Amino acid sequence: MQNKIKVATVQFNHTPSNKMANFSIMEKFINQAHKERVKIIVFPEMCITGYGHIGKLSQQELFSLSEEVSTGESTKRLKLLSRETHMIIGAGLLEKTNDGRLYNSYVVCQPGGTVNVHRKIHAFESKHITCGDSYTVFDTDLGIRLGILICYDNNIIENGRITALHGADILLAPSQVGGSLSKSPHALGLIDPKLWHNRKQDPEALRKELNGPKGKGWLMRWLPSRAHDNGYFLIFSNGVGLDGEEVRTGNAMIFDPYGRIVKETLKVDDDIVVADLDLSLLDMCTGRRWIRGRKPELYQDLITPTGKEMDSRTAHFSSKKM
């Protein structure tokens, strides 16, 4: 494993169902990252196909928008870009499979042609989307292992720990989060779309919201702990701006395995964050040292159903108390 690696994370405002427009934005950031000799670049959840409008589409409309990962044009394009720039590139889309299922998926292409895919374990965007049922951790030509958890996957702490136990050195955390209405009284909250439309004239008003309790303030309650407690770097990529009826809060940032912010953006628009990761921090960081002291024989309760479990969609939208 090399001692340092340059990575990038992107926030951008995608166009619903317009893959061409979204790829044009992505390619600008990919070219910029290539000039800065970035080795891994992370784009948001479903940034290729769009996200916020997914719940309003019919099953047929979703199938028309979706692609098979192995043969789809988006994967082919990502593979070509990865090969040309010698970068590992990750981006989200709506996947369809031969058995007629739809997934909220994240595709990671490596320069040598390897393609890895994570299907969101806790998908709730549409009743027509199936939840994934496995973890995604894989080797790279850089000598490190990458793991992927999409948005809500990161809210379930067991997912972060299992990804660490599978050997992830860096967790890719693509999302479309913030600026959402929450059933919990002290989490998230809607942002007035007028602030987004008026961002050029009054960026500070929007910045206050994006970096406040509806955005970064909420993210900082749990994202640093995922990195710290599990002993890996965490690359958070997010949408920004109006997405359906909600305003995504951006806050693209990179954490080290101590949960410290290595680099972040304060912009209220499309942006890229580039940082050098010091991989020598991994072995003796707090999280990895604590994991070595685990007592698995005591953890049976973690896999014993309580009887209160719900499917991901019901749990996400439920106002029922446990």
Q: 173-177, 180-184, 231-235, 306-310: which range is least confident on average?
A: 180-184
Hey, what's the torsion of the CAs at 274, 275, 276, 280, to 10 degrees?
Answer: -140
Q: What is the pLDDT of residue 4?
A: 95
Listed in sequence order, the residues at least 6 apart from 214 whose beta carbon sits closer than 8 Å to its beta carbon are 178, 179, 188, 189, 190, 191, 249
User: For residue 106, which amino acid is it?
Assistant: Y
How confident is the model over 115-173, as pLDDT tens digits?
999 999 999 999 999 999 999 999 999 999 999 999 999 999 999 999 999 999 999 99
Under 8 Å between Cβ of 164 and 232 = yes
Confidence of residue 57 (pLDDT cuts 50, 70, 90): very high
What's the confidence (pLDDT) of residue 187? Answer: 86
Find the helix packing angle between 73-85 and 19-35, rounded to 10°.
10
Average pLDDT, stretch 255-259? 98
Task: Work out the pLDDT band at 304, boundaries 50, 70, 90.
Answer: very high
Q: Using CA atoms, how far apart are residues 137 and 171, in angstroms rounded to an integer? A: 9
**Rounded Cα–Cα distance for residues 114 and 109 (Å):** 6
Using a pLDDT cut of 90, give the percent of the chain over it.
Answer: 93
Paired residues of 104 in beta bridges: 94
H or E element, residue 218: helix 216-219
pLDDT for the residue numbered 322: 41
Q: What is the CA radius of gyration of the chain?
A: 19
Instruction: Please report, rounded to a whole number, the percentage of residues in the chain having pLDDT higher than 70.
Output: 98
What's the order of all strands across the beta sheet hosting 145-148?
136-139, 145-148, 170-174, 233-237, 253-255, 261-264
Mapped onto helix, strand or coil, the DSSP state of residue 136 is: strand
- Give the model confidence (pLDDT) of 10-49 as tens digits: 999 999 999 999 999 999 999 999 999 999 999 999 999 9
Question: Which tens digit of pLDDT belongs to each residue from 168-227?
Answer: 999 999 999 988 888 888 888 999 999 999 999 999 999 999 999 999 999 999 999 999
Q: How far apart are CA 275 and CA 4, in angstroms?
A: 10
Rounded CA-CA distance 263/318 in Å is: 35
Q: Check whether 233 has a pLDDT greater than 90.
A: yes
Q: What confidence tier does 305 reach under pLDDT thresholds 50, 70, 90?
A: very high
**pLDDT exceeds 70 at position 320:** no
Residue with the larger pLDDT of the pair 109 and 179: 109
If you average pLDDT over residues 278-290, what whole number do you get? 97
- Torsion, Cα of 38, 40, 45, 47 (10° steps): 50
CATH class for the region spanning 4-317: alpha beta
pLDDT digits (tens, 9 = 90+) for 66-100: 999 999 999 999 999 999 999 999 999 999 999 99
DSSP 16-52: TT-HHHHHHHHHHHHHHHHHTT-SEEE--TTTTT-ST
Q: For residue 185, what pLDDT is reported?
A: 84
Q: What is the pLDDT of residue 215?
A: 94
Tokens representing residue 295 in the block: 């007592």
Domain borders along the chain are 4-317
pLDDT value at position 316? 87
